Chains A and B, each alone.
Chain A
Amino acid sequence: MEQLVMNSIEQSLDNNQPLSFQTLASIRSLVINPSTSDSTLSSVLNALTRSLQLSRDSVFLHHVVKLLTDLSSRCPHLSPVAIDLLRSNSLFTSSDSPRLVGESLSALVSLTSSQNDVDDARFVSLCLSPSVSVRLWLLRNAEKFAVRDSVLLAVFLGFTRDPYPYVRKAALDGLVKLCEKGDFDDHDVAQGCYFRAVELLCDAEDCVRSPAVRAVCGWGKMIVVSTEERNKQDLADAVFIQLCCMVRDMSMEVRLEAFDALGKIGLVSEDILLQTVSKKVLGMNKEKIYKPIEGLEISASGAAGAFVHGLEDEFSEVRMSACYSLRTLTVFSLRFAGEALNLLMDMLNDDSTVVRLQALGTMHHMAISNNLKVEEIHMHRFLGTLFDSSSAIRFVTRKILKLAKLPKLGLFKLCIDGLLGNLETYPEDEVDVFSVLFHIGRNHGKFTVCMIEEVSSELEPAFGGKLGFDSTRVAAFLVLAISVPLSHEKDARGVPPRIFSYAVTWLGRISHALSDLMSQETLLAYLSECSRSSIISLADFKIKDALPTVEGDMPSHLCSDVGSPVRIPLWQQDGETSDHHHTKLWSLGKSATHAEYELGEHDELRKSLNLIFRKVKDLWPLVQLGCTNEALKAIRACKEEVASYTAESPGSAGAVAFTLQYLRITKLLVAVWEHLMLTKKLNPYGVGKLELLLAKLDRRLREINNRFIGLSKGEELQIMDLIVVACLLRLSKVEICCYETAMKKLSSTISHVEFLHKEGSIEPSHFMVEVKKSLHEVGSSIGGNTCKPLLFKKLVDSFSFEQFVLCASPRYLNAELEVPGNDSESPLPFISGIPASIPLVITLHNISSDNKLWLRISMSEESTQFVFLDLNLIRGNNEVRKFTFVAPFYLTPKAVSFTLRVSIGMECMGETLHLVKTFGGPKCELTYLSPEKEIFLCKSTKC
């Protein structure tokens, strides 16, 4: 067949006839067919080369370009020739068809990464040719060519006049990109671009208006930067108002862009800011007209109510964006911050959790930048969020409370009541609530003393001399009380010394909660010191100095400016600080990049997942103390919470699955830990249980190690830590230790860690270093082949649970198995002794053809059979492949019916199977990607 086609091609070429379309079609089928030999393909290429000299018909050339593209992607070794051909004059200079030129260009760009095919003049002339599609393509891909920025600017600016909306959009996008590069300091150019962008804000098409908003923002900032100092304020105001005018657009995308942009304008004057939170035009803004550049006029009334509208927008995306933008703007004016807070407090009633979270996030931001002024009427609603069912929301609320400085005893009591209520409703928040109480206590020494006096009867030990401290509430008050001597207020005294001795009985829990402030020993020393005398001279008490100066979640650059490190005086209106913020934001307005502010609101999910990871880390001391049940309960709660994220967005499935897996591992670790670390003796059946747990842990670890791709080196290292711990746990118990295998695994893991360490230049954890060192010691005495459980136990003790930080979004390798229509009622037929066929519908997610997949079909442990799945034969992209696969099962038993268990496993490289169970099966350990599927078979009745 190949020969036949080739002959007909040769024939027509020999007769100097151009190739017919039919011939081209058969060439196409040759190119597509995977079994066409390489020699045929290269002769096809030759034929195409020759045919190019014969015909200049544009339709013909169009087909040739397509064929050349396909050909060179099909066989890479031919692509240089094909590319040369595409570059050659015959295709490139056919000026009569710019479309063709465009096609060959896009083919070239897709095949090579070189940029030298198009120079400035050629780019411009192609853009100016009548073909709209080529123009659009060129504008969109402009950065792929080596065209000077000044030329690009002219082209982009010119095409903002194009009658086709998508060309206008592409041109505006290009202008925004150029602006971000920021190489233009010509004031005229910036003004021209800004002017044009403002004109396009009134475009009839949504798709043009939203890039126009971005362009107005970008070039607006550019003109602000390039004008002289005294006009800057007015200009920035004008740009801001211009953007405010777009918040009432009918298109959600445009509104979203507008609010994103509002947050990026640097300095805005207070009058204008106040106008954005009032729908009525304020007196001072009436008849205020700005003329940012000649020919443009904008009235201050345009800004009226921008944020009011934004916060009650129908779409939660817009509301989020509005909340987020407020964060940067509240810094400029205390009055504005107050007004904005009124609106934000209302947002706590919003029906969307993410919006509530964003509103709280903004408040927290206001608190750190010293302009959160919560009033009594807000208090009720604000504290209500402590009862919210989402732990993320409660967490942020408490974070804000940590920074709070309350002016009245009443408010203070309300806060404490709120926190106690929180503790009562959600006991899992204990650690954080205690920590918050301690901070609040330090910030409000006198109020705390009043409060403790009121509740002192509750704190007294129960009647009969026995200490009845079993209520969390008491513990909470104790935490509050012991913070007093460390108060920032000078003359806050008066907590009875016995309270401190009561607190000692809670040492474990309290020190756990305050672990970020002081160690258990320090706390003990402090408590005993305080319990001895009622008047403590803290000047000679070293604790105060020993306290860490920075509170965990406060950005350090702000702390350095504030006198007291922990307390942020919320109620002081310090002119200097606000000036400081002014200048700070000034520079922010100037700089083109806002990495800090653009760290999107879109990774909310990752934020909350990281909160979970943090929580897990916080649990670890509990485990070490032996409170296994509490820890397990909390992990279970975390799991539930994570599971609830699944529905939120489809793209995040990987991150959620990863977190779940991580939690499962932690759970198993906790369970194993209980068995190993406690002094209590292992009961006989405990060994078996432990073995089961360890096996499960191994399996889970293998899964987390192999089923997620796209993790960073740091993240991988942390997983390695866990694997090493699992090995050590195994090694530290003689009863279950399978010494050699475990050692082998340990050393291979360590070497992998070393490899990662070298490659990514990330420091391995302290624990890992320790392990490596002692492993070396063991290695030197390896001849003896003695196990050293004590050494390993020591190593395990040195393990500290690090907080996992998820920064990438991992992809999840997953598979689904389905046998349509099969259940116990309608089984598949089989004839015993003859292989049965099982039609499986398989869906694979994120699996590339490099992975080795096996079907594991088992009737029982003894009769297990592996079938290899060759992914190269299966079409589909790497994200999702769905196909039907008929798997044979050879060992059909002599039975009327039986069931099979089928699952899909992936070979994990590097982990060789220590026991080869079946011939022809996988060589390495399998990670199972799908749950086991039960398949019912029944003896065929037909024969």
Chain B
Amino acid sequence: MAIDCLVLGAGQEVGKSCVVVSINGKRIMFDCGMHMGYTDSRRYPDFSLISKTGDFDNALTCVIITHFHLDHIGALPYFTEVCGYRGPIYMTYPTKALAPLMLEDYRKNMDRRGEDGQFTSDHITECMKKVIPVDLKQTVQVDKDLQIRAYYAGHVLGAAMFYAKVGDAAMVYTGDYNMTPDRHLGAAQIDRLQLDLLITESTYATTIRDSRYGREREFLKAVHNCVAAGGKVLIPTFALGRAQELCILLEDYWERMNLKVPIYFSSGLTIQANMYYKMLINWTSQKIKETYATHNAFDFKNVQNFDRSLINAPGPCVLFATPGMISGGFSLEVFMQWAPSEINLITLPGYCVAGTIGHKLMSGKPTKIDLDKDTQVDVRCQIHQLSFSPHTDAKGIMDLVKFLSPKHAILVHGEKPKMATLKERIQSELGIQCYCPANNDTVTIPTTHYVKADALDAFIKSCLNPNFKFSKSSSVDKSYSGSNDSKAIPGLQVSDERVAEGILVVEKGKKAKVIHQDELLHMLGENKHEVQFAYCFPMRTERLEKTRSEDLPSADDLLCGLDKCTLISLLSTKLSNELSDGNIQDLGEQLQVESFCLSICLKDNCPHRISDSVQNDSEVVFCCCSWSVADEMLAWKIISIMNNYTLPLEGRLQVHI
């Protein structure tokens, strides 16, 4: 049994997330994103690797989309409408609601730039009809064997991590997630699950970020200073997500500082998005959920709609414009107008894809930017880099991996060298096998295989009854327990053996069974065998003068009986002096300590005796002992006490079976 993980996108890069995972015969495609940095065929994942013939319906069990960002959903209409996938698609309710907005916005921008659209408005509508929405922590039975479940991921509204389970193999695909809350979204939240595989994003594989309060302070200071000086602030963002977070932040600040400078939203899209946010309160952070009854945090008081004519209107303002990264569209248009003035401010998002203007502005401080062959923009304005990012940092990734403790981890959605560093950390610090495959690579990992077994009555009963034991290693005599425990344990340990104590019986052609140890013999139809040790050894006696009369066996027996008793009681006293613990029982003719049993041997040819060690029959009396295997240590200890200053110990073991 194994999980095959084919990385179609976001392998050692950021963009077009797409991972196809085969578990126990089920094939799931996680995310179906497009790469924003390319306009050619590299834009989409190479779907031909899934099925040469293009029969995706049979090749895939389902498609799961984690959130509505284009690098996670952008290729979906293409895949369903152009490539012809007709199977089930799962995503959360907010993602289903917001994804068409994102796709439509993207498509319009493409059209505006004159690129070939790849998919149309109708495609988007049709594609969305195939989507099955899911709720958080709702377990969906995709088919007989495959279960999926969504967990809150933070990141953007409706983002989810997905858990998938087929048979015994289970995995989690995180998509993008955030382990710290922000002004409008909560932190990722997941149960402690038994996982074979965790596929996690690693955008910030090595970065450790400070508290968000510091970032908020910096941002507010920069914006306030700019508008106070009469400048204009351009905040290029994605329409959904950061725009709302920053807007909540600014709104709050505007209220507190009683500022009157207008805040604009560039397009109807964002206004519409705000409407969705207002409805999807359940997916926001705790604070917004709590205060929702009195004031909806997405009811912005200071925000107005932006009109193109306002671009060059006098006076300060703050403008949220799409798209982020200034890759084109309206934000580029405004950028060209505002960039040449020193008093203006451009705030850049935390991450810009290589090739966009945002990326150029971030790398160094350019004075001129070439838009294309003919256009060049002077950049004199202030640039503030927002370090707001909805992605978790390296510590967050480590924390999540540590919390889930999967058997294997795969890193995607990050930059190659940084991923390698993180991979090393996961392997060395957490001891979890980790991989970071490149695009179109396949990683195969073994999975746990569970055998179903019947349990018999006695075993079940023993499971029901608590059976815990305490062991106190420090107080136990080392000579008994032996120092075979190489791993040191604390003084007091508790263990409950009721579940552990079972025997797995696998018979040919039958279902495996778990049975209690008492049941084993009965089941196998065998008798119980015990290993018994026996040893007969001489003990020197000085006082004993024994007359042996063959004629009077009865009297002799009587006498010897008396003799034996005295001897035994003598030995018993001696032993109790020497042995600190152990329950010494004097049974008249026998001496018993646990299973160790000693009696005086009168037989001349005792099978357990070692004859050559005997020198003088009259001076010794033979002690015949037997014990079971459990008390071996104890037995040899007693024997050595007995023999202490007499004969050198030489024994012969006899084993009865």
Contact A248 B208 (CB under 8 A): no
Chain B residues near A204 (CB-CB < 8 A): 191-192
Q: Which residues of A contact B465 (CB under 8 A)?
A: 128-130
- Say yes or no: is A312 at the interface (Cβ < 8 Å to chain B): yes
Is B399 interfacial (CB-CB < 8 Å)?
yes
Nearest CB on A from B514, distance (A): 15
Q: Is there a chain A Cβ closer than 8 Å to B387's Cβ?
A: no
Is A574's CB within 8 Å of the partner chain B?
no
Q: Does B450 contact A (CB under 8 A)?
A: no
Give Cα A204–Cα B403 distance, bound, in whole angstroms: 10
Interface string of A142-163 (1 = CB under 8 A from B): 0000000000001001111111
A304 touches B494 (CB 8 A): no
Residue ID in chain B nearest A248 by CB atoms: B399
Q: How far in angstroms is the closest Cβ of chain A from B219?
A: 12
Please determine whether B180 and A309 come into contact, CB atoms closer than 8 angstroms: yes
The answer to whether B112 has its CB under 8 Å from any CB of chain A is no
Contact with A along B177-214 (1 / 0, CB 8 A): 00111010011011110000000000000001111111
Contacts of B603 in A (CB 8 A): none
B623 to chain A, nearest CB (A): 39
B499 touches A (CB below 8 Å): yes
Minimal beta-carbon separation of A485 from chain B (angstroms): 40
Inside 8 A of A196's CB, which chain B residues have their CB? 494
The answer to whether B494 touches A161 (Cβ under 8 A) is yes
Interface membership of A74, Cβ < 8 A: no
Whether A312 contacts B494 in the complex (CB less than 8 A), given A158-B468, A204-B192, A250-B189, comes out as no
Residues of B within 8 A of A250 (CB): 189-192, 403
Asked if B470 lies at the interface with its beta carbon under 8 angstroms from chain A, I say yes
Q: Which residues of B contact A304 (CB under 8 A)?
A: 395
Chain B residue at minimal CB-CB distance from A128: B466
Chain B residues with CB under 8 A of A293 = 490
Q: Does B109 contact A (CB under 8 A)?
A: no
Contact of A163 with B403 at beta-carbon distance under 8 Å, contacts A128-B466, A196-B494 already known:
no
A383-403 interface mask toward B, CB cutoff 8 Å, 1 = contact, 0 = none?
000000000000000000000
Asked if B286 lies at the interface with its beta carbon under 8 angstroms from chain A, I say yes
B133 within 8 A of A: no
Give every chain A residue within 8 A of B468 (Cβ-Cβ): 158-159, 161
Contact between chains at A313 and B496 (CB < 8 Å)? no
Q: Is the CB–CB distance between B217 and A192 below 8 Å?
A: no
Within 8 A of A (CB), among B260-284: none
Contacts of B22 in A (CB 8 A): none
A347 at the interface (CB under 8 A from B): yes
Pair B181/A314 contact, Cβ less than 8 Å: yes
Flag whether B511 is at the interface (Cβ < 8 A): no
A263 at the interface (CB under 8 A from B): no
Q: Give the Cβ gap from B257 to chain A, nearest Cβ, in Å.
A: 9
B493 interface residue (CB < 8 Å to A): yes
Q: Is B488 an interface residue (CB 8 A)?
A: yes
Count of chain A residues near B, Cβ 8 A: 48
A550 at the A/B interface (Cβ < 8 Å)?
no
Known contacts A128-B465, A130-B464, A647-B294: does B403 contact A158 (CB below 8 Å)? no
Interface residues of B in 320-351 (CB under 8 A from A): none
Interface bits A308-338 vs B (CB < 8 Å: 1, else 0): 1101111110000000000000000000000
**When the two chains form their complex, are residues A316 and B395 in contact, meaning their CB atoms are under 8 A apart?**
no
Taking A204-B192, A250-B192, A280-B208 as contacts, is the C-beta distance between A189 and B492 under 8 angstroms? Answer: yes
Query: Counting chain A CB atoms within 10 Å of each CB, which of B191, B474, B490, B495 scores highest?
Result: B490
Q: What residues on A are CB-neighbors of B190 within 8 Å?
A: 250
**How far, in angstroms, from A352 to B297 measured CA to CA in the complex?**
14
Query: In the bound complex, what is the Cα–Cα distance between A647 and B487 (angstroms)?
Result: 57
Considering only residues 45-85 of chain A, those with a C-beta below 8 Å from chain B are none
Among the listed B287, B490, B492, which residue makes an inter-chain contact with A352, where contact means beta carbons less than 8 Å apart?
Answer: B287
Contact string, B241-275, partner A, CB cutoff 8 A, digits 1/0? Answer: 00000000000100000000000000000000000
Whether B492 and A158, one on each chain, are in contact in the complex, defined by CB atoms closer than 8 angstroms, is no
Nearest-Cβ distance from residue A280 to partner chain B, whole angstroms:
5
Query: Which B residues are in CB contact (< 8 Å) with A211?
Result: none
- Given A304-B395, A315-B286: A192 and B499 within 8 A (CB)? no
Interface residues of A in 421-478 (CB under 8 A from B): none
Chain A residue with Cβ nearest B291: A351
CA distance A196 to B210 in the complex (A): 35
**Are B187 and A192 within 8 A (Cβ)?**
no
- Report the nearest B residue to A193, measured CB to CB: B492
User: Given contacts A295-B487, A314-B285, are A279 and B395 in contact (CB under 8 A)?
Assistant: yes
Q: Are A248 and B287 in contact (CB under 8 A)?
A: no
Residue B619 is within 8 A (CB to CB) of chain A in the complex: no
A314 x B286 contact (CB < 8 A): yes
Chain B minimum-CB-distance residue to A280: B208
Taking a contact as CB atoms closer than 8 A, the residue among A130, A135, A347, A351 that contacts B461 in the complex is A130
Report the minimal beta-carbon distance from B215 to chain A, rounded to whole angstroms: 10
Assess whether A10 is interfacial by the CB under 8 Å rule.
no
Answer whether residue A191 sits at the interface, using C-beta atoms and an 8 A cutoff: yes
**Pairwise interchain contact B211-A308, C-beta atoms closer than 8 A:** yes
In Å, the complex CA distance between A519 and B187 comes to 56
Q: B211 contacts which chain A residues (CB < 8 A)?
A: 308, 311-312, 343, 346
Report if A270 contacts B (CB, 8 A). Answer: no
A647→B291 CA distance, assembly (Å): 11
**Using Cβ atoms and an 8 Å threshold, which residues of chain B touch A162?**
466, 496
Residues from chain A with Cβ under 8 Å of B461 in the complex: 130
Q: Which of A189, A314, A647 is the one whose CB lies under 8 Å from B186?
A: A314
Q: B463 — which chain A residues lie within 8 A by C-beta?
A: 163
CB-based nearest A residue for B492: A192
Question: For A314, what are the chain B residues with a Cβ–Cβ distance below 8 Å?
Answer: 181, 186-187, 285-287
B412 → chain A, closest Cβ, in Å?
A: 22
In chain B, residues 563-590, which have Cβ atoms closer than 8 Å to a Cβ of chain A? none
Task: Report if A540 contacts B (CB, 8 A).
Answer: no
CB atoms of B216 and A349 under 8 A apart:
yes
Query: In the complex the two chains form, what is the Cα distance from A312 to B470 in whole Å?
Result: 43
**Which residue of chain A has the shortest Cβ distance to B179 in the bound complex?**
A248
A187 contacts the other chain (Cβ, under 8 Å)? yes
Distance in Å from the Cβ of B230 to the closest Cβ of chain A? 22
Q: How far is the CB of B609 from chain A (nearest CB, A)?
A: 46
Is A294 located at the chain interface by the 8 A CB criterion?
A: yes
B489 contacts partner chain A, Cβ-Cβ < 8 Å? yes
In the bound complex, CA of A772 to CA of B325 (Å):
81
Confirm or deny: B472 has a beta carbon within 8 angstroms of a beta carbon on chain A. Answer: yes
Q: Cα distance A160–B489 when bound, in Å?
A: 18
CB interface residues, A 711-741, toward B, < 8 Å: none
Contact with B along A94-129 (1 / 0, CB 8 A): 000000000000000000000000000000000111
Q: How far is the CA of A311 from the CA of B212 in the complex (A)?
A: 10
B431 at the interface (CB under 8 A from A): no
In the complex, what distance in Å separates the CA atom of A296 from the CA atom of B494? 15
- Interface hits, A271-287 → B, CB 8 Å: 279-280
Does B491 lie within 8 Å of A161, measured CB to CB? no
- In the complex, are the beta carbons of B285 and A192 less than 8 A apart? no
Given contacts A249-B403, A349-B213, A647-B294, contact A192 B181 (CB under 8 A): no
Which chain B positions have C-beta within 8 A of A346? 211, 213-214, 217
User: Residue of A at shortest CB range from B154?
Assistant: A314
Using A158-B496, A295-B487, A305-B395 as known contacts, list a sample of 17 further A-B pairs with CB atoms less than 8 Å apart, ordered by residue number in A. Answer: A154-B470, A158-B494, A161-B495, A162-B496, A163-B499, A192-B493, A196-B494, A204-B192, A248-B179, A250-B190, A294-B488, A294-B489, A311-B211, A312-B213, A314-B187, A314-B286, A346-B217
Can you list 26 A-B contacts (CB < 8 A)? A128-B465, A130-B461, A157-B470, A159-B468, A160-B494, A161-B496, A188-B474, A188-B475, A188-B492, A189-B491, A192-B492, A192-B494, A195-B492, A248-B179, A250-B191, A279-B209, A280-B208, A294-B489, A296-B490, A308-B211, A309-B180, A312-B180, A313-B187, A316-B286, A343-B213, A647-B294
Where the two chains meet, the residues of A that have a C-beta atom closer than 8 Å to any C-beta of B are: 127-130, 135, 154, 157-163, 187-189, 191-193, 195-196, 204, 248-250, 279-280, 293-296, 304-305, 308-309, 311-316, 343, 346-347, 349, 351-352, 647
- 6 closest cross-chain pairs (CB), A and B: A192-B492, A188-B491, A346-B213, A161-B496, A314-B181, A130-B464
